[in-house]
Copies of this chain bind each other. A is one copy, B any other.
Amino acid sequence: MSKYDSGLDLCFSALGDPTRRKILERLARGEATVSELAATHDMALPSFMEHLKKLEAAKLITSKKQGRSRICTLSPTAFTPARDWLSEQSTIWEGRLDRFDDYIQTLMEERSK
Residues of A within 8 A of B (CB): 4, 6, 8-18, 21, 24-25, 28-31, 74, 76, 79, 82-83, 85-87, 89-90, 92-94, 96, 98, 102
Contact = CB atoms under 8 A, between A and B. Distances in A.
A76 B99 CA distance: 12
A11 B89 CA distance: 14
A96 B28 contact: yes
B16 A12 contact: yes
A66 to B, nearest CB: 12
B86 A82 contact: yes
26 contacts: A4-B18, A8-B16, A8-B21, A9-B17, A9-B18, A11-B16, A12-B12, A12-B16, A12-B21, A15-B82, A15-B85, A16-B16, A24-B89, A25-B92, A28-B92, A28-B96, A29-B92, A30-B96, A76-B94, A79-B86, A79-B89, A82-B86, A83-B83, A83-B86, A83-B90, A86-B86
